């Protein structure tokens, strides 16, 4: 079927290409025993801007790793107190930890060190943000459905590991801001019932803050989390290769084929994007200051900076801590501090579980129908898009709450009002987001149908013989019309009547009733074919 030029047949004149071919030959004969590489060059890769978000995350992770290796050469993961005697005059003579002193040294005295540190931070932010947006893309287009359910879970794992790794790294310089963040973690761990105090002692090696935590976080940050991250990443990529790419619906595209550019062209684009991502991150690091730990000062558990707040990817948890009412209940003479337990332990656990399990929940409700390689347009699945929007809205309200003091200062309102407003919002906004999004989706569907039935608006007004005005409309061409009509029409599952004509109750009444309700939730609101 391919019409790509057959590069295998044309011997390259250049020496480098010939040598590369020899390496490929060697691998294919002695390692894989197949022509996987040569075949791989001929595979089809669909192209769409949203398919590049995962690449963005991948490439920023590459810079995170490269700059991180550079930093490990100079960073000392030790909390032993030293008297700072480096190049930064304002802190000279102050007792700081070795970790803090070495961070200042690698910023101020190692050439290019500050740049590398800022590259490491900025690339981390891009990495986590790209993963989050990639996850939303996969959610809203339904790319998580069979056979990619497992890969979705791997992706959620990558996001969690990325955030955990970034948090562990953020705490390493032992500065006032990140130390305050660790104190919040200690408080959260203490709230865990029964084992909380023991866990805290194990994590910090005795009393808080102790002199172990930076060394331990360092092990997590440079060894354990990267090892897991790279393993999961490899699995993620292998599964993408195994399942093939998803594609948008369109003429010539079916559930059984992949239509796209040849891989050679795709690789060219990817290489270009990689360099652009590298360049953008380095430019950001050159021009935008990030995490100036020398301004925060060394960590002192008895001090805190006003406006202390975590990095944006942790801000939703801090926001939840700020919004939680002061609830504490007594269980058999013991204390269960719900005001900490819910935001620090229960909430993140539930969020991750909900994300990870969503593909199975949706499949249960919608019904499994084998491999799904064609993407849904978000408007064609209003309930799913609405749920996603509600999830995003919930997250964003918590995220805003993580900076409620800064917002209150910015807008000159009492911080207490801000907190109350956000407490209401966190309950009210997600259902509102669900409803509004679903309505917008249905409206867009209606517009598509209008386009199909009456043609595209041209902006040309025509006066008819009776003096009336009408807009001239041009019918869609066949390809556009196909794209708009090529979607599944789903109707809610209707269960059998509770009692059949002989008075015998239907089997599995309860479970079918639940399924009918959920199915109605997903597909109940839709454009009927006769609703014109």
The residues in 131-190 that bind another protein, with binding defined as CB under 8 A, are: 146-147, 180, 183-184, 186-188, 190
489: left (phi over 0), alpha (psi -120 to 50) or beta: beta
Instruction: Return the ∠ at Cα 431 (arms to 429 and 435), rounded to 5°.
Output: 110
Q: How far is the CB of 185 from another protein (least distance, A)?
A: 8
Q: How far is the CB of 334 from another protein (least distance, A)?
A: 5
Q: Which stretch binds another protein (CB under 8 A): 259-267, 382-390, 487-495, 517-525?
A: 259-267
Q: Is 515 exposed, middle or buried (0-12, 13-18, 19+ CB in 10 A)?
A: middle
Alpha helices in 412-498 (DSSP H): 415-454, 478-485
User: Closest by alpha carbon to 472, among 464, 460, 463?
Assistant: 460
Q: Which stretch binds another protein (CB under 8 A): 8-16, 64-72, 158-166, 335-343?
A: 335-343
The one among 102, 124, 291, 404 contacting another protein by CB under 8 A: 404
Q: Which two tokens stand for residue 523?
A: 């597909």
For another protein, the closer CB: 322 or 379: 322
207 binds another protein (CB under 8 A): yes
9 binds another protein (CB under 8 A): no
**CB neighbours of 220 closer than 8 A, spacing ≥ 6?**
164, 165, 168
For another protein, the closer CB: 193 or 431: 193
**CB neighbours of 89 closer than 8 A, spacing ≥ 6?**
none
Q: Which two tokens stand for residue 464?
A: 């008819």
Looking at residues 440 to 499 of the shown chain, list those that interact with another protein (rule: CB under 8 A): none
Instruction: Return the ∠ at Cα 42 (arms to 41 and 46), rounded to 5°.
Output: 100
Instruction: Return the ∠ at Cα 212 (arms to 210 and 217), rounded to 5°.
Output: 125
- E strand intervals along 39-141: 44-45, 81-83, 95-97
Say if CB 348 and CB 163 are below 8 A apart: no
For another protein, the closer CB: 342 or 514: 342
The one among 37, 312, 327, 479 contacting another protein by CB under 8 A: 327
**CB neighbours of 228 closer than 8 A, spacing ≥ 6?**
161
34 binds another protein (CB under 8 A): no
Q: How far is the CB of 515 from another protein (least distance, A)?
A: 23
What span, in angstroms and rounded, lies between the C-alpha atoms of 377 and 249?
9
Q: How far is the CB of 475 from another protein (least distance, A)?
A: 25
Q: Which stretch binds another protein (CB under 8 A): 258-266, 376-384, 487-495, 517-525?
A: 258-266
What span, in angstroms and rounded, lies between the C-alpha atoms of 53 and 31?
32
Q: Which two tokens stand for residue 69?
A: 């290796």
For tokens 């249905």, name the residue.
442
**CB neighbours of 26 closer than 8 A, spacing ≥ 6?**
none
For another protein, the closer CB: 90 or 475: 90
Looking at residues 364 to 383 of the shown chain, list those that interact with another protein (rule: CB under 8 A): 370-371, 373
Q: Which two tokens stand for residue 306?
A: 């006003």
Looking at residues 346 to 365 of the shown chain, list those that interact with another protein (rule: CB under 8 A): none
For another protein, the closer CB: 299 or 434: 299
Using the Cα atoms of residue 257, residue 258, residue 259 and residue 264 in order, give the sign of their dihedral. negative
3 binds another protein (CB under 8 A): yes
Q: Is 32 exposed, middle or buried (0-12, 13-18, 19+ CB in 10 A)?
A: exposed
Q: Which stretch binds another protein (CB under 8 A): 64-72, 158-166, 332-340, 382-390?
A: 332-340
Q: How far is the CB of 171 from another protein (least distance, A)?
A: 15
Looking at residues 56 to 95 of the shown chain, list those that interact with another protein (rule: CB under 8 A): 79-81, 87-89, 95
The one among 32, 34, 72, 197 contacting another protein by CB under 8 A: 197
Q: How far is the CB of 284 from another protein (least distance, A)?
A: 8
Say if CB 193 and CB 331 are below 8 A apart: yes
334 binds another protein (CB under 8 A): yes
Looking at residues 380 to 399 of the shown chain, list those that interact with another protein (rule: CB under 8 A): none
Looking at residues 274 to 313 of the shown chain, list those that interact with another protein (rule: CB under 8 A): 274-287, 300-308
315 binds another protein (CB under 8 A): no
The one among 60, 118, 124, 385 contacting another protein by CB under 8 A: 118
Q: How far is the CB of 45 from another protein (least distance, A)?
A: 8
What span, in angstroms and rounded, lies between the C-alpha atoms of 412 and 273?
43
What span, in angstroms and rounded, lies between the C-alpha atoms of 387 and 382?
9
Q: To which H or E segment does residue 512 belong?
A: helix 509-523
**CB neighbours of 314 closer than 8 A, spacing ≥ 6?**
163, 167, 181, 402
Using the Cα atoms of residue 30, residue 35, residue 38 and residue 44 in order, give the sign of their dihedral. negative
The one among 42, 449, 515, 526 contacting another protein by CB under 8 A: 42
Site size toward another protein (CB under 8 A) is: 116
Looking at residues 414 to 443 of the shown chain, list those that interact with another protein (rule: CB under 8 A): 415-416, 419
The one among 123, 203, 225, 383 contacting another protein by CB under 8 A: 203
Q: How far is the CB of 103 from another protein (least distance, A)?
A: 14
For another protein, the closer CB: 47 or 512: 47
For another protein, the closer CB: 303 or 435: 303
Give the total residue count for the chain: 532
For another protein, the closer CB: 177 or 441: 177
Looking at residues 236 to 255 of the shown chain, list those that interact with another protein (rule: CB under 8 A): 242-244, 252, 255
Q: How far is the CB of 330 from another protein (least distance, A)?
A: 10
16 binds another protein (CB under 8 A): no
Give the DSSP letter string of 191-255. Answer: TSTTTHHHHHHHHHTSSSSTTTHHHHHHHIIIIIHHHHHHHHHHHHHHHHHHH---B---TT--T
Looking at residues 208 to 237 of the shown chain, list those that interact with another protein (rule: CB under 8 A): 208-212
């Amino acid at each position: 079927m391919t019409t790509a030029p057959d590069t295998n047949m044309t011997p390259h004149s250049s020496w480098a290409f010939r040598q590369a071919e020899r390496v490929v030959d060697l691998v294919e004969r002695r390692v894989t025993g197949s022509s996987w590489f040569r075949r791989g060059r001929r595979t089809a890769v669909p192209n769409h801007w949203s398919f590049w978000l995962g690449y963005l995350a991948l490439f920023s992770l590459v810079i995170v790793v490269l700059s991180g290796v550079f930093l490990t050469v100079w960073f000392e993961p030790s909390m032993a107190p030293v008297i700072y005697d480096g190049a930064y005059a304002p802190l000279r003579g102050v007792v700081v930890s070795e970790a803090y002193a070495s961070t200042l040294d690698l910023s101020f005295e190692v050439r290019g060190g500050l740049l590398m540190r800022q590259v490491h931070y900025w690339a981390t932010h891009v990495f986590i943000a790209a993963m989050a947006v990639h996850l939303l893309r996969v959610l809203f287009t339904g790319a998580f459905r069979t056979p990619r359910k497992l890969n979705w879970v791997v992706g959620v794992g990558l996001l969690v590991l990325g955030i955990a790794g970034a948090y562990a790294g953020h705490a390493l310089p032992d500065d006032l801001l990140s130390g305050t963040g660790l104190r919040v973690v200690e408080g959260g761990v203490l709230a865990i019932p029964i084992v909380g105090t023991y866990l805290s002692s194990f994590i910090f090696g005795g009393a808080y803050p102790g002199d172990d935590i930076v060394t331990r976080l360092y092990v997590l940050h440079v060894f354990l989390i990267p090892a897991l991250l790279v393993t999961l990443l490899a699995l993620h990529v292998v599964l993408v290769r195994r399942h093939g790419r998803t594609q948008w619906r369109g003429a010539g595209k079916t559930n059984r084929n992949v239509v796209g550019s040849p891989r050679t062209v795709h690789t060219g684009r990817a290489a270009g994007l990689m360099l652009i991502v590298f360049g953008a991150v380095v430019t950001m690091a050159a021009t935008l200051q990030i995490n100036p730990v020398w301004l925060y000062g060394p960590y002192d558990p008895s001090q805190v900076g006003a406006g202390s707040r975590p990095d944006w990817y942790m801000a939703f948890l801090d926001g939840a801590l700020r919004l939680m009412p002061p609830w504490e209940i007594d269980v058999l003479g013991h204390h269960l501090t719900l005001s900490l337990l819910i935001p620090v332990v229960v909430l993140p656990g539930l969020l991750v579980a909900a994300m990870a399990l969503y593909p199975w929940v949706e499949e249960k409700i919608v019904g499994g129908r084998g491999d799904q390689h064609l993407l849904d347009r978000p408007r064609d699945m209003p309930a799913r898009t609405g749920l996603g929007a509600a999830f995003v809205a919930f997250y964003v309200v918590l995220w805003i709450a993580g900076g409620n003091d800064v917002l209150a200062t910015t807008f000159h309102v009492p911080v207490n009002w801000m907190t109350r407003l956000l407490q209401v919002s966190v309950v009210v906004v997600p259902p509102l987001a669900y409803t509004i999004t679903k309505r917008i989706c249905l409206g867009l569907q209606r517009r598509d149908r209008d386009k199909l039935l009456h043609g595209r608006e041209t902006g040309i007004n025509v006066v008819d013989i009776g003096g009336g005005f009408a807009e001239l409309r041009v019918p869609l061409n066949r390809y556009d019309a196909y794209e708009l009509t090529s979607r599944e029409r789903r109707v809610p599952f209707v269960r059998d009547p509770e009692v059949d004509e002989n008075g015998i109750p239907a089997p599995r009444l309860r479970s079918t009733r639940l399924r009918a309700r959920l199915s109605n939730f997903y597909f109940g609101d839709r454009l009927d074919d006769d609703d014109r």
